[in-house]
Amino acid sequence: MMKFIVPVSGVLIGGAAGYLYYRFVGCSSGGCPITSNPWISTIYGAAMGFLATWVK
């Protein structure tokens, strides 16, 4: 159970960071494929958070 704490926290922190990036920096014109949509930005951030914390 403890080995999942770090990747799960990475996903949560990355998802929050992705949403905050959309909210405060994002692209309002719709031309940016990642930052113009809050769902895509959050999922991308969560994926990056997972990849950053996933170690074997």
pTM: 0.86
Ramachandran area for residue 26 (φ above 0: left; ψ -120 to 50: alpha; else beta): beta
Tell me what the mean pLDDT of segment 11-32 comes to. 90
pLDDT at residue 45, as a whole number: 96
pLDDT at residue 42, as a whole number: 96
Angle of helix 5-24 versus helix 38-53 axis, rounded to 10: 140
pLDDT at residue 34, as a whole number: 84
What is the extent of the structural domain holding 34? Answer: 2-53
- Number of structural domains, the chain? 1
**Tell me: the pLDDT tens digits for 22-47?**
999 988 787 888 888 899 999 999 99
pLDDT at residue 7, as a whole number: 92
